[in-house]
Structure 1
Amino acid sequence: MSRKTHEHQLAQRKAQRQAERQAERAKQRRMVAVTIASIIAVVAVIGGVVVLIAKNTGNDTAVGGSPDPSAPAAGAENKPVSIPTAIAPAPKRAKPLAAEVDCSYAKSAEPASKKVDAPANGKVKASGTSPVTLNTSVGELHFTLDSALAPCTVKSFLSLVGQKYFDGTSCHRLTVGDGLQVLQCGDPSGTGSGGPGYSFKDEVYPELKYGRGVLAMANSGPNTNGSQFFVVYGNAGLPPSYTAFGTVDKASLEAIDKVANAGVVPQGGPTDGKPATPVEIKTVTAAS
């Protein structure tokens, strides 16, 4: 082999090794780029989940939370597509309660949003109805409380009415989505996390369903009832986890329909937030 030929072969091998090293470095760069892109994608997904969790977390619920005052004003997407006009049958227990039940009201960890005394513990009749009238900025709302459904809840609500707990408060939450159409009230702080400083157990049953005209308690989990309540003015695909304790009449529902059709100031979603038309509760009275 001539010297010239040998040098030519060495040069070819050197060039080949350089090409292989360049190819390897390019491959590594591609792998690093893919890894970084994957990490960014995972972080984005996790961030999205965190955002969703944050947007769907609340203290009281008809499921809770207070509207963000910096949220955009209500628009077409912040209003109900439709509201059913048929009033749902009044809730009724398949198996009636005993003539009397034992009620207990425990002090909660959170202080009361408005100073109030808890009802006395003890027996209460599980029968009879109690008319209640809310004088509000959108007209009178008429409730009929039913002790056969939830005697301990009715006792608490009437106690709060008697102590003027609801006077001078506002309904802080409205939902207008097809699956959940409720107006939520009963928090003097207006934040969605306030209560009377005590709680009591759920009075629910498996057959319980919610529909237009049902009055029920909001909660933040099992046995956390306080003062917040909601009126179902349309659809409500809810599990039987919220104590129903009465009904709302036709004229009152029509007044709430007008509020719903005006839309919401969104909080965490376009169909859930503060009513665009404020609902101020001036006074609440119960028939003696």
Structure 2
Amino acid sequence: MVATIGLTAGDIDVTMDRATAPCTVNSFVSLAEQGFYDDTVCHRLVDTGIFILQCGDPTATGTGGPGYTIPDEVTADTTYPAGTVAMANRGAKNTGGSQFFLVYADTDLPADYTVLGTMDQAGIDVVGSIASQGVDAVDQTSPIAEAKITSITLG
């Protein structure tokens, strides 16, 4: 299944993998169908050490979610190369919810984050263009470039 994340900076097509992450994909699809992600801001950009844009928090604070958690669907050999779309968590196992991150350059992370799917080079380029403008100097977290999800469509 493909989900198109409509960002103000451009569309990102995510090919989701139900075979390796059925609970995660089903949760993401359900939230997208409900419009949960519509008009939400990608609140966190990391451009040193790891290379991610984090989205999916309706409060844009890093603490919001859907009101439930989903189990991790990871293996010891899970990796996060450029193009990976994975679920964020609250720093503990089985605490994913709605927040996810888009990896725009190869990133070395522990195998603690369920891979939801992958984006193609065009999607990597969209996220890379947001990242190239840097992180806000005041909060040192949010991207300088506008990174807002207008909608997610499924197809």
User: Could you say whether these structures have the same fold, taking a TM-score greater than 0.5 normalized by the shorter chain as the test?
Assistant: yes
Question: What residue in structure 1 maps to residue 142 of structure 2?
Answer: 274
- Mapped to 2, the partners of 1:265 and 1:210 lie a distance apart of 25
Question: What residue in structure 2 maps to residue 237 of structure 1?
Answer: 108
Question: What residue in structure 2 maps to residue 164 of structure 1?
Answer: 35
Secondary structure of the structure 2 residue equivalent to 1:180: coil
- Mapped to 2, the partners of 1:147 and 1:208 lie a distance apart of 15
Q: Which structure would you say has the larger RCO, counting Cα contacts within 8 Å and 6 or more residues apart?
A: 2
- Mapped to 2, the partners of 1:207 and 1:135 lie a distance apart of 31
Distance change (3 Å), C-alpha of 1:267 and 1:184:
farther
**Contact 1:149 1:246 (8 Å CA) reproduced:** no
CA deviation vs aligned residue, 1:106-128 (integer Å, no higher than 9, x gap): xxxxxxxxxxxxxxxxxxxxxxx
- Mapped to 2, the partners of 1:147 and 1:266 lie a distance apart of 38
Report the CA distance between 1:241 and its aligned residue: 0.5
**Contact 1:267 1:274 (8 Å CA) reproduced:** no
Q: Select the structure that is richer in helix.
A: 1
Report the CA distance between 1:266 and its aligned residue: 4.1
- Mapped to 1, the partners of 2:135 and 2:153 lie a distance apart of 28
- Mapped to 1, the partners of 2:123 and 2:64 lie a distance apart of 25
Percent identity, aligned pairs only, is 44
Of 191, 194, 199 in structure 1, the residue corresponding to residue 64 of structure 2 is 194
CA deviation vs aligned residue, 1:16-74 (integer Å, no higher than 9, x gap): xxxxxxxxxxxxxxxxxxxxxxxxxxxxxxxxxxxxxxxxxxxxxxxxxxxxxxxxxxx
Report the CA distance between 1:237 and its aligned residue: 1.4
**Contact 1:174 1:182 (8 Å CA) reproduced:** yes
Report the CA distance between 1:245 and its aligned residue: 1.4
TM-score of the pair, normalised by structure 2:
0.96
Question: What residue in structure 2 maps to residue 137 of structure 1?
Answer: 8
Secondary structure of the structure 1 residue equivalent to 2:23: helix
- Mapped to 2, the partners of 1:266 and 1:209 lie a distance apart of 30
| 1:196-235 mapped onto 2 (5 Å cutoff) | 196-220=66-90, 221-235=92-106
- Mapped to 2, the partners of 1:232 and 1:162 lie a distance apart of 23
Secondary structure of the structure 2 residue equivalent to 1:246: strand
Distance change (3 Å), C-alpha of 1:164 and 1:236:
same
Question: What residue in structure 1 maps to residue 152 of structure 2?
Answer: 284
Q: RMSD of the TM alignment (CA)? A: 1.2
Report the CA distance between 1:141 and its aligned residue: 1.1
Secondary structure of the structure 2 residue equivalent to 1:157: helix
Question: What residue in structure 2 maps to residue 265 of structure 1?
Answer: 136
**What 5-or-longer segments of structure 1 have no aligned partner?**
1-129
Secondary structure of the structure 2 residue equivalent to 1:198: coil
CA deviation vs aligned residue, 1:249-268 (integer Å, no higher than 9, x gap): 11111111111110001467
Count of residues paired in the alignment:
154
CA deviation vs aligned residue, 1:137-179 (integer Å, no higher than 9, x gap): 10111111101120000000000011000001010000000x2
Report the CA distance between 1:232 and its aligned residue: 0.6
TM-score of the pair, normalised by structure 1:
0.52
